Amino acid sequence: MNLIIDVGNSFVKLAVFEGGTLNHKEVVKLNLVLEGINSLKEKYTSIKKAIISSVGKLNKADIKAISKSFDVMILDANVKLPFKNLYTTPNTLGVDRIALVCASVEQFPNNNVLIIDAGTCVTYDFVTAKNEYMGGAISPGLRMRYKSLNNLTVNLPLLESEIPKNIIGNSTNGSIHSGVVYGILKEIEGIIDEYHRKYSDLTVILTGGDANFLSKQLKSSIFANSNFLLEGLNYILQFNSNE
């Protein structure tokens, strides 16, 4: 069994895989990560290997403690990957994007795949049917757009995400919802269309924290998978374990 440790700014996603099957997933606060891992270690005694993503946010003592319990892989630019990386600055490529590409390579082999991760940022990553990662794009995510309107203006309020009732906002709040939500939806649709023009046989994956919120509004044919990153991290661990 494998333990997946995906570290965010304030929270950590913990997942347990048996082979390629997700058996358990939970989210814990960053300062409670060891307690969460110890609980899983007691429940799933067959866990042997672990992978840590975004290691920079874990302190050395935590990493050392985890390494005493498991054979730990730390995901970085030097880990062997199941695709050809054509990114011109591979050392700056986020580990989350690496994991998403790995998931697409495993689950959609010999396909042109566009992975859209709608989280803090919206990232677009493209891998060809020849297993070549080309790169993609990064733009502000849903919450970042709401927050920037509030932070960079004097009078605009900070709102919670909401599907607008009409594209024509008839109030300030309605106008903000229309601008933010329709703006990000039209961006995603437009980028998908551009890729489709170049690659007619395109598979599109939507994942990330805002995937469910956005997927219901998108007209394009997509696969929505909130566990795609965790599955990619597990595949990286499996791929390197089989070498």
Token pair 């498991």: residue: 70
Residue of 6, 94, 117, 18 whose CA lies nearest to 51: 6
**88 annotated as ligand-binding:** no
Task: Give the active site residue among 96, 125, 193, 201.
Answer: 96
Asked whether the beta carbons of 202 and 174 are under 8 A apart, the reply is no
**8 annotated as ligand-binding:** yes
**7 annotated as ligand-binding:** yes
**174 annotated as ligand-binding:** no
**94 annotated as ligand-binding:** yes
**197 annotated as ligand-binding:** no
Structure tokens at 175: 């106008």
**153 annotated as ligand-binding:** no
Edge-to-edge strands, sheet with 21-29: 21-29, 11-18, 2-7, 49-53, 71-74
**210 annotated as ligand-binding:** no
Cα-trace Rg, the chain: 19
What is the Cα–Cα distance from 56 to 186, expressed in whole angstroms? 34
What is the Cα–Cα distance from 119 to 77, expressed in whole angstroms? 22
**76 annotated as ligand-binding:** no
Please indicate whether residue 96 is annotated as part of the active site: yes
Structure tokens at 44: 């799933």
Q: Known binding site: residues?
A: 6-13, 87, 94-97, 117, 120, 172
Q: Known binding site for K(+): residues?
A: 117
So which residues are the catalytic ones?
96
Q: Known binding site for ATP: residues?
A: 6-13, 120
Q: Known binding site for substrate: residues?
A: 87, 94-97, 172
